[in-house]
Amino acid sequence: MKKLIAVIMITVGLIIGLSFGTQQSQASWFENGHLNGNFYARNATNLVIARKTVPVFKYRTGTCEANNRRAFYGYLHKGSKVFASGYSMSTGGVWIIKSKHQYYHNSRTFFAVGNTTHYWYHRLN
């Protein structure tokens, strides 16, 4: 009888622990039912300098990656220094960028350079 009670207690503990663990991991990806733009921007860690002028798009996160919306934001000019991610296929084949002032990120917004060319930057670090 004691073994049965112990097995039931362990099973209930595992179920409760797994359910709380799942909710915490979703909190980093989702915020109020939308993907988190800060999660995308966290990948932009490489300091780069632009070799040529390239278009920049402002992304607004949706409920899934297929619902992310983008709009033309402006141009990243030759010689500009920004932090960039690696090539990201999940967001439509772009490089996610961030900088101190112009290319910010928050829970619903991030910026990316379109997939026009693979030779738009030179890595500094």
Pick the residue with more confidence: 22 or 87?
87
- The total of other beta-carbon atoms located within 10 Å of residue 109's CB is 16
26 with 82, same domain?
no
Q: List pLDDT tens digits, range 28-67.
A: 555 656 678 888 888 889 999 999 999 999 999 888 877 8
The Cα 76–Cα 99 span in angstroms is 11
Q: Look up the domain containing 15 and give its range.
A: 2-31
Return mean pLDDT, the chain: 80
Higher-pLDDT residue of 125, 103 = 103
21 and 43 fall within a common domain: no
DSSP per position, 31-63: ETTEE-HHHHHTT--EEEEESS-EEEEEEE--S
Q: Which residues pair with 113 in a beta bridge?
A: 56, 95
DSSP code of residue 37: H
Q: What is the mean pLDDT of residues 74-103?
A: 85
Backbone angles phi, psi at 121, to 5 degrees: -135, 165
Residue 85 and residue 109 in one domain: yes
Residues 65 and 23 in one domain: no
Residues 13 and 47 occupy one common structural domain: no
Total domains in the chain come to 2
> Can you tell me the distance from the alpha carbon of 114 to that of 54, in angstroms, rounded to the nearest whole number?
8
Q: At residue 113, does pLDDT exceed 80?
A: yes
> What DSSP state is assigned to residue 67?
G
Distance separating alpha carbons of residues 28 and 7, to the nearest angstrom: 33
> Could you tell me if 66 and 116 lie in one domain?
yes
pTM reported for the whole predicted model: 0.71
| Statement to judge: residues 27 and 69 lie in one domain | no
